[in-house]
Amino acid sequence: MQEIERKFLVTNTDFKQEAFQQTHLVQGYLNSTPERTVRIRVSNEQAWITVKGKSSADGTSRFEWEKEIPLQEAKQLLALCEEFLIEKTRYLVKAGKHTFEVDEFHGKHNGLLIAEVELQDAKETFEKPVWLGQEVTGQKEYYNAYLKSHPIT
């Protein structure tokens, strides 16, 4: 139950031509402290509750537990979440043997593009697409739990 990922800004929307899937997501936080976050996420007719622990010193790994929950219960829990929900479109883009999740944020973060790649090991190498920009792994201002109440303009 360990999540290992690296996070990057995205320089342009060329990734959309390479995407093999896109999904609209709405998520809120029941708790967003750095020691633990508890997130509710809804995508189409599915929903999940996710608990994440504190990140490692370099920001690449942390404990993650996730469970699918009934959609109606998720909608009720979203109503209990901390102020401001995050809405985004997630694109899945294959690059070499990895799949990047590219999030295009809407609302108060309109225009923000962040890509994440999950790894088996923190030192694992991966192919970097041309649209991948500055690495922001470990920078709290690019975590969704922080973005929910701190707009990036």
Positions marked active-site: 29
Largest CA distance in the chain: 41
| CB atoms closer than 10 angstroms to residue 120 | 8
Distance CA 42, CA 66 (A): 13
Question: Phi then psi for 9, rounded to 5 degrees?
Answer: -75, 160
Q: In the block, which residue shows the tokens 């809120």? A: 28
- With CA atoms as reference, report the closest residue to 87 among 152, 25, 43: 25
